[in-house]
């Protein structure tokens, strides 16, 4: 019965594929000119030209005949520039005008240690201090300065992005109409590839570190806005009522009751903002953001893999430290202070004051405090180069064979199959699925998404993107779900796997290109492997979550019914976890899309290559339209999979 209905949903799609030889040409690949017959554009509808016209109009537009849009962008970048000067002065350049040097390396190491100790204990103290120690010790190739540039860009962009996010979130929470407008925009923003932001920002703000920071802000604020909204909406109604009954005014309500009560979500938002900023600051090197990303990019372009890996490890260190610290801040619950002297009540603060005083006193007599002694610095790049050489020497042949076999026997046939599907068949497919999962509204939404891609003129490239994502998704599922099942069986393996996922997830996506380029040089295979490593994280994580969160009572009921371990897995846990696994697939697909776009950097022929071209030629219209194509692929899948998961949950009464 169920199978019959499923077949019915797939029928229009299958029929269109079967009758493909008899379909007219325009139904297979979307026509390259608009239906009216106008020439010289890429797609049915000239979205690109429209966006470019809008950009030209905006740049020239004068507000109140007083100032132009360019004046606005200039003043914004001026502000960002001065903030950036300040943080860079603090962290590595110093303020020459005032005769003040930068914060010495030893102060950062010590501060990280004391703060880590205060937040969670000696483990975090060790992690924080060793991160900075690594940066100082391995600074032969200027890694310390580059890291400080990266950190100062984060120090500027994260607070601004956080503030914007909170404001947008509050607006959405307080006004229903605002929520209705803001929510879908956030959805699109969060699924636009990094490079679309870079292109648009480069057009309005030029290139360089300040443009990079602005792109980072725009990229990083949506999760904060979303979490603020969710946090404010999830406050228990009793707490709000307690505020009202205490006689709070609107402002008192917001600042004294609502925002503090949403603390957990807001703190999660802070963590996400910081990690998003790091990821984007690294990628913003494409528009001239200085720092680790810039160096990484330059070395990768020269194929100096060993040196690139050295920088990559620094990025990874910073990522882990930032993530663990911001999580520790989020999880730090207020505790009452013990009675006694100041030292007893606030031991960490006292230590910190003493430490700063010691540095101030000692730095004039001991120069190594201000600057890490040069003769002690180390470079690891020869070590990494050695590894790369070793791999090339001993494994190149087999790896190349593996790569070629994969290409010839699997990837290329699969690619031809996907790109050969008539576009109207795909519209029919998503429309039917949408109708089945969520009714006609969903069907209409997803069909419009797909139609946009078809009309934009990037259909074939979009299908290549889809092929890469689908291949990766399949491989991720084949490996990720069993790994998740294995890990969920025991307490220790669950914790181990969650730790691995947490750690890997903090790395900026760009980092994943390094090992695959090392192994497979530049090809579809490298791109797909990078995607697989990066995108496997969510499917493993969600599988574990789903399996472990089956209600205890149900497990006990199954045990008392006499289930064996295997029966428990197949008949109880997996079916109950199914909705979560779908959500995991959804996340994997989103991660995959993001990674595909970055993988364009190492040479693929899908949408990402076009977007790199747009970046080179500063073509804003193309950048945005391709970005939207990627976003709509993601949103189509997201809508359908989430609706499917919700349906399943409702059927099981889990929702």
Partner 1 sequence: MSSNTKIACKEIWKLYGSNPREFFEKNQRNPSDEAIKSEQYIPAVRNATFDVHEGEILVIMGLSGSGKSTLVRCLSRLVEPTWGKVEFDGIDLLQAPEKTLIEIRRHKMGMVFQNFALLPHRTVLQNIAFPLEVQGIDKATRESKAREIIEIVGLQGRDNYYPRELSGGQQQRVGIGRSLAVEPDIWFLDEPFSALDPLIRKEMQNEFIRLQSILGKTIVFITHDFDEAIKLADRIAIMYEGIIVQLGTAEELISNPATQYVEEFTRDIPRAKLLSVSSIMEPLSGTVSEHLSVFADDSIEKIARTVLAQESDVQVMDQQNQAVGMLRRQRLLETIFENSSEE
| Binding positions for partner 1, rule: CB under 8 A | 236, 238-239, 241-242, 244-249, 252, 256-257, 260-261, 263, 333-337
What is the nearest approach in angstroms of partner 1 to the Cβ of residue 518? 48
What is the nearest approach in angstroms of partner 1 to the Cβ of residue 165? 20
What is the nearest approach in angstroms of partner 1 to the Cβ of residue 258? 10
- Residue-by-residue DSSP string for 208-274: SHHHHHHHHHHHHHHHHHHHHHHHHHTS-HHHHHHHHHTT--HHHIIIIIIHHHTHHHHHHHHHHHH
Question: Would you say 261 and 243 are in contact if contact means Cβ atoms under 8 Å apart?
Answer: no
DSSP state of 95: B
For the record, the structure tokens of 560 come out as 């008392």
What is the nearest approach in angstroms of partner 1 to the Cβ of residue 79? 32
Residue with tokens 């290559």: 609
User: Phi and psi at residue 47, in whole multiples of 5°?
Assistant: -55, -45
Nearer to partner 1, 123 or 332 (CB): 332
For the record, the structure tokens of 600 come out as 């364009």
Residue with tokens 């690139």: 308
DSSP state of 139: G
Nearer to partner 1, 237 or 565 (CB): 237
Question: Can you tell me the distance from the alpha carbon of 456 to that of 43, in angstroms, rounded to the nearest whole number?
Answer: 5
What is the nearest approach in angstroms of partner 1 to the Cβ of residue 253? 9
What is the nearest approach in angstroms of partner 1 to the Cβ of residue 340? 13
Question: Can you tell me the distance from the alpha carbon of 79 to that of 196, in angstroms, rounded to the nearest whole number?
Answer: 23
Reduced to 3 states (helix: H, G, I; strand: E, B; else coil), residue 290 is coil
Nearer to partner 1, 32 or 256 (CB): 256
For the record, the structure tokens of 108 come out as 């950062």
What is the nearest approach in angstroms of partner 1 to the Cβ of residue 158? 22
* Burial of 34 from C-beta contacts in 10 A (0-12 / 13-18 / 19+): middle
Nearer to partner 1, 1 or 245 (CB): 245
In angstroms, how far is CA 63 from the centroid of its own chain? 35
What is the nearest approach in angstroms of partner 1 to the Cβ of residue 238? 4
Secondary structure element (H or E) that encloses residue 62, with its range: strand 62-63
Question: Would you say 629 and 456 are in contact if contact means Cβ atoms under 8 Å apart?
Answer: yes
Secondary structure element (H or E) that encloses residue 632, with its range: helix 620-652
Q: 591: which residues sit within 8 A by CB, 6+ positions away?
A: 531, 534, 535, 537, 538
What is the nearest approach in angstroms of partner 1 to the Cβ of residue 262? 10
Nearer to partner 1, 264 or 350 (CB): 264
What is the nearest approach in angstroms of partner 1 to the Cβ of residue 265? 13
- Residue-by-residue DSSP string for 448-514: HHHHHHHHHT-HHHHHHHHHHHHHHHHHHHHHHHHHHHHHHHSHHHHHHHHHHHHHHHHS-GGGGHH
Nearer to partner 1, 148 or 268 (CB): 268
Question: Euclidean distance between the first and final Cα of the chain, in Å?
Answer: 25
Q: 342: which residues sit within 8 A by CB, 6+ positions away?
A: 350
What is the nearest approach in angstroms of partner 1 to the Cβ of residue 252? 5
What is the nearest approach in angstroms of partner 1 to the Cβ of residue 239? 5
Nearer to partner 1, 39 or 245 (CB): 245
Question: Can you tell me the distance from the alpha carbon of 484 to that of 498, in angstroms, rounded to the nearest whole number?
Answer: 10
């Amino acid at each position: 019965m169920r199978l019959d209905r499923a077949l019915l949903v797939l029928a229009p799609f299958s029929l269109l594929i079967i009758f493909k030889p008899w379909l007219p040409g325009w139904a297979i690949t979307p026509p390259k000119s608009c239906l009216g017959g106008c020439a010289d554009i890429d797609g049915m509808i000239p979205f690109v030209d429209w966006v470019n016209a809008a950009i030209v109009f905006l740049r020239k537009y004068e507000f109140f005949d007083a100032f132009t849009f360019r004046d606005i962008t200039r003043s914004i970048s001026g502000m960002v520039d001065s903030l950036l000067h300040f943080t860079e002065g603090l962290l590595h350049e110093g303020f020459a005008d005032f005769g003040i040097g930068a914060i010495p390396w030893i102060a950062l190491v010590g501060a990280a240690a004391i703060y880590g100790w205060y937040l969670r204990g000696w483990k975090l103290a060790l992690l924080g201090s060793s991160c900075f120690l690594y940066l100082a010790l391995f600074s032969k190739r200027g890694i310390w300065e580059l890291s400080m540039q990266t950190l100062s860009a984060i120090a500027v962009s994260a607070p601004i992005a956080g503030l914007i996010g909170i404001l947008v979130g509050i607006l959405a929470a307080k006004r229903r109409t605002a929520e209705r407008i803001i929510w879908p925009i956030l959805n699109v923003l969060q699924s636009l590839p990094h490079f679309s932001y870079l292109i648009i920002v480069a057009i309005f703000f030029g290139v360089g570190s300040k443009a990079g920071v602005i792109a980072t802000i725009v990229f990083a604020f949506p999760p904060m806005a979303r979490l603020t909204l969710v946090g404010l909406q999830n406050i228990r109604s009793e707490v709000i009522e307690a505020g009202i009954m205490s006689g709070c005014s609107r402002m008192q309500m917001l600042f004294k009751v609502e925002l503090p009560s949403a603390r957990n979500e807001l703190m999660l938002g802070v963590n996400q903002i910081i990690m998003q900023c790091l990821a984007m600051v690294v990628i913003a090197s494409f528009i001239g953001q200085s720092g680790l990303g810039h160096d990484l990019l330059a070395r990768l372009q020269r194929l100096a893999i060993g040196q690139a890996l050295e920088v990559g490890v620094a990025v990874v260190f910073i990522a882990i430290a930032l993530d663990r610290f911001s999580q520790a801040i989020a999880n730090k619950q207020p505790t009452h202070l013990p009675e006694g002297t100041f030292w007893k009540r606030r031991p960490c603060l006292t230590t910190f004051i003493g430490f700063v005083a010691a540095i101030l006193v000692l730095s004039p007599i001991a120069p190594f405090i201000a600057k890490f002694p040069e003769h002690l610095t180390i470079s690891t790049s020869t070590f990494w180069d050695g590894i790369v050489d070793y791999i090339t020497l001993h494994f190149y042949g087999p790896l190349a064979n593996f790569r070629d076999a994969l290409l010839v026997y699997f990837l290329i046939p699969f690619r031809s199959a996907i790109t050969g599907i008539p576009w109207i068949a795909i519209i029919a497919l998503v429309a039917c699925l949408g109708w089945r999962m969520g009714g006609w509204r969903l069907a209409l939404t997803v069909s419009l998404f797909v139609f946009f891609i078809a009309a934009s003129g990037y259909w074939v490239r979009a299908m290549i993107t889809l092929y890469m994502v689908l291949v990766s998704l399949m491989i991720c599922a084949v490996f990720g779900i069993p790994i998740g099942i294995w890990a969920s069986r025991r307490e220790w393996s669950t914790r181990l796997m969650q730790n691995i996922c947490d750690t890997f997830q903090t790395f900026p996506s760009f980092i994943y290109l390094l090992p695959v380029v090392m192994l497979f040089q530049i090809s579809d295979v490298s791109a797909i492997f990078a995607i697989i490593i990066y995108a496997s994280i969510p499917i493993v994580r969600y599988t574990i979550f789903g399996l472990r969160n089956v209600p205890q009572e149900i497990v006990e009921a199954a045990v008392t019914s006499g289930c064996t371990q295997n029966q428990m897995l197949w008949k109880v846990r997996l079916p109950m976890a199914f909705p979560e696994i779908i959500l995991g697939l959804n996340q994997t697909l989103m991660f995959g899309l993001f990674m595909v776009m970055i993988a364009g950097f190492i040479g693929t022929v899908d949408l990402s290559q076009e977007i790199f071209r747009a970046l080179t030629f500063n073509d804003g219209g193309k950048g945005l339209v391709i970005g939207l194509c990627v976003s709509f692929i993601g949103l189509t899948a997201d809508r359908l999979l989430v609706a499917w998961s919700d349906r399943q949950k409702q059927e099981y009464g889990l929702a």
